[in-house]
Copies of this chain bind each other. A is one copy, B any other.
Amino acid sequence: MSRSSRPRRRATLATLAAELKVSRTTVSNAYNRPDQLSPELRNRVLAAAKEMGYSGPDPVARSLRMRRADTVGLLLDQPLNYTFRDPAAVDFVAGVADACDAAGRSLLIVPTGGSRDAQAAAEVVNRASVDGFVAYSVSGDNPYLAAALERHVPVVVCDQPTGLEGVVLVGIDDRAAMASLAKHVLAAGHRQIGIMTMRLTTDFRDGVVPLDEALDSTFSVQRDRIQGIADVASDYGDEVSITVMQTGSHNRESGAAAARSIMEVAPNITVLVCTSDVLALGAMTWAAGAGVSVPSDLSITGFDGTRDAQRADLTTVVQPSELKGKRAGEILMSLPAAHSSRSEYLDTTLRQGSTLAPPRRRP
A residues near B (Cβ < 8 Å) are 10, 53, 55-64, 69-71, 79-81, 84, 90-91, 93-95, 97-98, 100-102, 104-111, 113-114, 122-124, 126-129, 147, 150-152, 285, 311, 322
A107 pairs with B104, CB closer than 8 A: no
B126 pairs with A55, CB closer than 8 A: yes
By CB atoms of chain B within 10 A, which of A60, A62, A311 has the most? Answer: A60
Contact of A129 among B71, B100, B311 (CB under 8 A): B71
Q: Assembly of this chain: how many copies?
A: 2
A101 pairs with B123, CB closer than 8 A: no
A97 pairs with B109, CB closer than 8 A: yes
Tell me the bound Cα distance from A105 to B111 in angstroms: 7
Contact of A97 among B111, B129, B151, B152 (CB under 8 A): B111
A64 pairs with B71, CB closer than 8 A: no
Residues of B within 8 A of A128 (CB): 59, 106
A129 pairs with B60, CB closer than 8 A: yes
User: Across the two chains, which residue of chain B brings its CB closest to A113?
Assistant: B101
A152 pairs with B55, CB closer than 8 A: yes
> Measured between C-beta atoms, what is the minimum distance from A334 to chain B in Å?
17
Residues of B within 8 A of A57 (CB): 126
Between A and B, 11 residue pairs with Cβ closer than 8 Å are A58-B64, A60-B69, A63-B129, A71-B108, A80-B107, A81-B95, A81-B97, A101-B113, A107-B109, A107-B111, A129-B129
Residues of B within 8 A of A129 (CB): 59-60, 63, 69, 71, 106, 129
Tell me the bound Cα distance from A53 to B153 in angstroms: 12
A59 pairs with B109, CB closer than 8 A: no
Contact of A59 among B91, B104, B126 (CB under 8 A): B126
Residues of B within 8 A of A108 (CB): 71, 106-109
Tell me the bound Cα distance from A127 to B68 in angstroms: 12
Residues of B within 8 A of A84 (CB): 90-91, 93-94
Tell me the bound Cα distance from A53 to B152 in angstroms: 8
> Measured between C-beta atoms, what is the minimum distance from A125 to chain B in Å?
8
Tell me the bound Cα distance from A90 to B90 in angstroms: 8
Beyond the given pairs A59-B126, A106-B128, 12 more chain A to chain B contacts, judged by CB atoms under 8 angstroms and listed by A's residue number, are: A55-B150, A55-B152, A56-B126, A57-B126, A58-B64, A59-B128, A60-B64, A64-B64, A81-B97, A84-B91, A97-B111, A108-B108
Residues of B within 8 A of A123 (CB): 56
> Measured between C-beta atoms, what is the minimum distance from A110 to chain B in Å?
6
> Measured between C-beta atoms, what is the minimum distance from A77 to chain B in Å?
14
Contact of A151 among B55, B80, B152 (CB under 8 A): B55
User: Across the two chains, which residue of chain B brings its CB closest to A57?
Assistant: B126
By CB atoms of chain B within 10 A, which of A62, A64, A91, A147 has the most? Answer: A64
Contact of A106 among B95, B109, B151, B322 (CB under 8 A): B109
User: Across the two chains, which residue of chain B brings its CB closest to A123?
Assistant: B56
> Measured between C-beta atoms, what is the minimum distance from A9 to chain B in Å?
11
> Measured between C-beta atoms, what is the minimum distance from A12 to chain B in Å?
11
A79 pairs with B97, CB closer than 8 A: yes
B97 pairs with A80, CB closer than 8 A: yes
Tell me the bound Cα distance from A56 to B90 in angstroms: 32
A80 pairs with B94, CB closer than 8 A: yes
B94 pairs with A81, CB closer than 8 A: yes
Residues of B within 8 A of A80 (CB): 93-94, 97-98, 101, 107
